[in-house]
Amino acid sequence: MRNQLDDANFIVKGMRQRRRRWIFITTILSIIAIILCCAMLLLGNTIYPVNVVVRTLMGEDIAGANFAINTIRLPRMITGLFAGFAFGVSGYIFQTMLRNPLANPNILGITSGSSVAAVFCIIVLHSSNTVVSIAAVGGGLITVIVMYVLSRGRSFSIGRLIIIGIGMQAMLDAVISYLILKSSQQDIAVALRWLSGSLNGSKMSEALPLILIVVVFTPILLTLGKQLSMLELGDQMATSLGVATDKLRITLIVSSVIIIAIATSTTGPIAFVSFLAGPIANRLVGASASNILPAGLVGANLVLFADLIGQFAFGYRFPVGVITGLLGAPYLIYLLIRMNRKGEL
């Protein structure tokens, strides 16, 4: 009896420690995000003091500062914050749900599906930003539906889904290349800027749908976080614990695709953020917890930090997607080597 009480106390103590660590890391990530947001507002061709930024944000009309802060820097900061959060959350959900670090929307071709639809609207139809956003969501959903149907067979297969997703990505990237080759010079410049993943030219009107989608769907995903962790145990174990695996998986996929498709339509496919955010969050917090919120914050911090590096660290200003690509590519190579040594490939 005493041993049972000791075991129970040990378990409770471990849970409390994990909970405190989760709160501590999440708080630190939130503070870093706030610091990066402030840096986005303060820094630029003209560095404004804090009191000028605050007065401008409060509505005071200060010559020069009003346009630079409210029209250029604020929309850029908000877009980077919410897009990074969306990429981080979506990537973490796919990696956790499919129990594979390679299973993120970039590598599975979901963002490529959104990109094909968006590029088609930009180059061929010359559509408005609203139509591009709707098309990106539709393209992402169609891609994931095709992947899910093809991977079902007699039963759902994670390995089959990943292989099909990689094939879909290659095919969709080829479609994007074809559209660009057949487009006019002016359209090529617009499409390539979008495809590189950029916060340049961000507008508050374009950021509002992204903010709305993230605010609406994040609580849904957080609510499903505990059940998401159960999927890591396998479908049979999750079902025995009372989880409706197919229903849960469909809800998670649809919600994740919607938020990442909206983020992609707003900023373009910012490379490797959805790939990096989940593993970094798990390393910081521990893989035993539901790390949806920390993964979103890591994604937001990655985008904001990479954008600051791209703007000010070099003589030429690079789009944020170029910097995140430079950060993510070495990790992808490392992960492939490690998985190959373990026989997971």
From first to last of its 345 residues, what are the pLDDT tens digits of the chain? 555 555 555 555 656 778 888 899 999 999 999 999 999 999 888 888 888 888 888 888 877 788 888 888 999 999 999 999 999 999 999 888 877 777 777 777 888 888 888 888 888 888 777 788 788 888 888 888 888 788 766 666 677 777 888 888 888 889 888 888 887 777 777 777 777 788 888 888 888 989 999 999 999 998 888 787 777 666 677 777 677 777 888 888 888 888 988 888 888 888 889 888 888 898 888 866 688 999 999 999 999 999 999 988 887 888 888 888 888 878 778 777 776 676 555
Which residue is it, tokens 């916060």? Answer: 199
pLDDT for 321 equals 87
Q: CB neighbours of 82 closer than 8 A, spacing ≥ 6?
A: 207, 210, 211, 214, 263, 300
The whole-number pLDDT of residue 233 equals 67
The answer to whether residues 62 and 79 touch, using CB atoms and an 8 Å cutoff, is no
C-alpha closest to that of 151 among 166, 162, 140: 162
For the full predicted model, state whether its pTM sits above 0.75.
Answer: yes
Distance CA 3, CA 84 (A): 47
Burial 203-230 (b: 16+ CB within 10 A, else e): eeebbebbbebbeebbeebeebbebbbb
**Cβ neighbours around 131 below 10 Å, total:** 16
- Cβ atoms of 254 and 142 within 8 Å: the answer is no
The pLDDT score that the predictor gives to residue 252 is: 86
| Residue 288: other Cβ atoms inside 10 A | 13
Return the pLDDT at 179.
87
CB neighbours (10 Å) of residue 263? Answer: 33
pLDDT at position 322: 86
Q: Which CATH number does 2-341 carry?
A: 1.10.3470.10
Q: What pLDDT, on the 0 to 100 scale, is given for residue 2?
A: 53
